[in-house]
Amino acid sequence: MAVHEYKKESFLISTSKQKLKPSTIHKFLTESYWSKGISIEKVNRSIKNSLCFGVYCGKLQIGFARVITDYTLFAYLADVFILPEYRGRGLSKWLMKCIVEHPDLKQIRTIMLATRDAHGLYKKFGFEPLEEPEKYMKKKNSNFQHRF
């Protein structure tokens, strides 16, 4: 898969996994409501198996998002964040624009996500509540250990 990079002022968004700082990603995710306590091993495995978008200011990683996809019909957007000290600069909107316009994702029929608090951001990019939530199901793995 080709690496894509986007530049804006002093910021860079890149899909290069080599640029990612797993320790930065882990530090944020382990304190987030959706991945509290996640292990670095699980973060590394999730990076390995996803299309990743790193957000950088110089060599410092300041944001992240990943897409789990078959590159054909379905994708799931996860782990989207901008570090608190860099918020309010339009970086999350720019990150979302780069994701939805990425050439390998533009033709996908359905992109899903789950959020507790960022509905306004995602709505700007065409995301909406499920039309028929009663048709959707999930399975929780009883063997999954909640301790990340």
Question: Can you give the CATH number for the domain in which 36 is found?
Answer: 3.40.630.30
Could you give the 3-state DSSP secondary structure of residue 42? helix
Q: Which domain holds residue 65?
A: 5-125
What pLDDT shows up at residue 142? 72
From the centroid of its chain, how far is CA 50? Answer: 9
Phi, psi of 125 (to 5 degrees): -110, 20
Q: Which residue has the tokens 């709505």?
A: 123
Domain count, the chain: 1
Residue 16 lies in a domain: yes
pLDDT attached to residue 140 = 81
Specify the pLDDT at position 148. Answer: 40
Query: What is d(CA 25, CA 32) in angstroms, rounded to the nearest whole number?
Result: 11
Residue 143 has pLDDT above 70, yes or no: no
Residue 104 placed within a domain: yes
d(CA 69, CA 36): 24
The pLDDT of 75-79, averaged and rounded, is 97
Q: Does position 99 have pLDDT exceeding 60, yes or no?
A: yes
131 lies in some domain: no
Average of per-residue pLDDT across 43-55: 98
What does the pLDDT read at residue 105? 96
Residue 143 lies in a domain: no
Q: Return the pLDDT at 138.
A: 86
Calculate the average pLDDT of the chain: 93
Is the model's pLDDT at 59 over the cut of 60? yes
Which residue from 89, 71, 91, 70 is spatially nearest to 80, judged by alpha carbons?
91
Confidence of residue 58 (pLDDT cuts 50, 70, 90): very high
Burial class (CB in 10 A: 0-12, 13-18, 19+), 139: exposed
Q: Give residue-wise pLDDT tens across range 126-138.
A: 999 999 989 989 8
